[in-house]
Amino acid sequence: MQQQEQMLIVMLIYIALLITWGVYQGRKVKNNQDYAIAGRKLPGWIAALSERATGESSWALLGLPGAAYAMGITEIWTAIGCVVGIIVAWALISWRLRDEAEKYNITTYTDFLAAKHAETTKWIRVSASATIVFFFFFYLGAQFLGGGKTLFTMFGVQPEIGMLITASIIVPYTIYGGFRSVVYTDVIQAIVMITALIVGPIVGLIYLSNHPETFASGLGEALEKAGPSYMSLVNGASGFEAGLIIVSGFSWFFGYLGGQPQLAVRFMAISDMRQARKARNVGIVWTLVAYIGALMIGWIGLAIFGPAGLVDQEYVMPAVMLKIFPPVIASILITGAIAAMISTADSLLILSATEFSENILKPMLNKFRVIHSNALLQSRLVTASLAIIALGLAYVVEAELIFSLVSYVWAGIGGTFSVVILLTLLWPRYHGRAVVLTIISGLVFTIIWISTGMEQYISARLLTFFVALLVAITTSYLVPKKQHKVQA
């Protein structure tokens, strides 16, 4: 009980500081552009840390260590796919999106696509924004569910109450300060996360060398004792099956190429090219360190507990921290898992709110000539409304359905929009009608592929990208470009 009390105190202090910092940054929001994209004035290191905290979610602290604990070195392929994708995004895509955002004076992800393909602005706004908002509703609901599960695991809080607590942490400062508050709270969370991923492995290795009673005294020994599959890069498979394991792991690469709106908008918000270069360097270094640390924590957990020592593999990071550190220090580092989850939830909320407000609600109000003079207030009201709806979905919709829909996000949105962004940036022939057809085909294919069970054979993360790419190229040639009418 004393351990739980110490952990609770640490987390309450952390959450209080986080909310205070978010509200403080919110005071600097003066207009709707500040609210939606921080006025496109973010310093490079701020944008990079925010993008990394949002991009990793609880994946880097719970998911990837858990997979490394359960699969051994096979999980290296997933790490390689993610790391290469992130490096390519920062090196080749981030500065291009930043320049385009400045050129067209955009405030949302969909604004960029609509501005580049002005001949089909209406259909791009409707198809892209509606898709993002719909799926991100469930993505956000999944974060609330994850918060409830984490608080239940750590403190025994009922999941329903835990979900409400999670929402009460992020919603107030997100409503108040919008994108600016979200980004600057992400910075704190990125620092907590990377600290856990650096300090944890170092102390873990020292702990193993001083405790011979553990399952193994080193990582190599742990992998070898756990079984042949743990030492295999392909989980003991051979031939075509081995190739599928490698391709499936690496397929995470394709979702990072501009196709995750919550990440791409951070590229767009960087103030200038000098800051973009700083952001690139910080983002790449953070990623390399974080992924090495995440894999090592999983393998350290294997060395401490053995392959059957944990009921829930995704609890390996908290279990390792509690084993090798005093409760107070462990609590600070475990807070990184909470931080990762929060950094995704607030980002999804503000992205959905700005997409809905700017690209769906505002055109609708303009059509019916409804006056909305206070755009900032409108954005805050939309953010609050979407938060309530997402929380309600988490309560009333079955968790299995929510997580099934979330599984479409990386493939259906990530793979599809990566194609759309890449071709929009790099191929002048790509036009608006082809964009709309690419979005529709990518999402339809993903839903059919996953819902029919084909995902168990070949990952939609891989196939959706190439199906969308084929449709994009084919329709760019076969479907005539709509002529843009320039009003006199």
For the stretch 199-257, pLDDT in tens is: 999 999 999 999 989 999 999 999 999 999 999 998 888 888 888 889 988 999 999 99
Q: Is residue 429 part of a domain?
A: no
Query: 168, 161, 159, 163: which is closest to 143 by C-alpha?
Result: 163
Give residue 488's pLDDT.
41
Indicate if the pLDDT at residue 1 is higher than 60. no
The residues with which 270 forms a beta bridge, in sequence order, are: 42
Q: Is residue 269 within 8 Å of residue 47, measured between CB atoms?
A: yes
Q: Is residue 482 part of a domain?
A: no
List of residues 6+ apart from 239 with CB closer than 8 A: none
Q: How far is CA 97 from CA 180, 326, 350, 465, in A?
A: 19, 45, 19, 20
Calculate mean pLDDT across residues 325-340: 80
Q: Is residue 330 within 8 Å of residue 322, measured between CB atoms?
A: yes
Calculate mean pLDDT across residues 148-169: 82
Give residue 4's pLDDT.
75
Indicate if the pLDDT at residue 369 is higher than 80. no
Q: Is residue 165 part of a domain?
A: yes
CA dihedral of 124, 130, 131, 133, whole degrees rounded to 10: 130
Burial of 201 (0-12, 13-18, 19+ CB in 10 A): buried
Indicate if the pLDDT at residue 14 is higher than 80. yes
Average pLDDT value over all residues in the chain: 88
Q: Is residue 415 part of a domain?
A: no
Indicate if the pLDDT at residue 32 is higher than 60. yes
Read off the pLDDT band of 318 (50, 70, 90): confident
Q: Is residue 459 within 8 Å of residue 481, measured between CB atoms?
A: no
Read off the pLDDT band of 69 (50, 70, 90): very high
Q: How far is CA 217 from CA 200, 299, 331, 398, 477, in A?
A: 16, 11, 25, 43, 61
Q: Is residue 367 part of a domain?
A: yes
Task: Give the CATH number for residue 113.
Answer: 1.20.1730.10
Residue numbers of the domain that contains 236: 2-399
Across 73-77, 311-315, 450-454, least confident range: 311-315
Q: Is the pTM of this model over 0.75?
A: yes
Using one digit for the tens of pLDDT, what is the confidence trace for 41-62? 999 999 999 999 998 877 788 8
Read off the pLDDT band of 276 (50, 70, 90): very high
**Which percentage of the chain shows pLDDT scores above 70?**
96
Indicate if the pLDDT at residue 440 is higher than 70. yes
Give residue 366's pLDDT.
74
How far apart are the C-alpha atoms of 438 and 436, rounded to whole Å?
5
Q: Is residue 344 within 8 Å of residue 135, measured between CB atoms?
A: no
Burial of 385 (0-12, 13-18, 19+ CB in 10 A): middle
Indicate if the pLDDT at residue 487 is higher than 60. no
Q: Is residue 313 part of a domain?
A: yes
Calculate mean pLDDT across residues 368-381: 74
Give residue 403's pLDDT.
63
Q: Is residue 464 part of a domain?
A: no
Give residue 179's pLDDT.
93
**Which percentage of the chain shows pLDDT scores above 90?**
52
Instruction: Please state the domain count of the chain.
Output: 1
Q: Is residue 488 part of a domain?
A: no
Q: How far is CA 307 from CA 70, 215, 262, in A?
A: 7, 9, 36
Q: Count the alpha carbons within 13 Å of 8 in the hemisphere toward its beta carbon.
A: 12
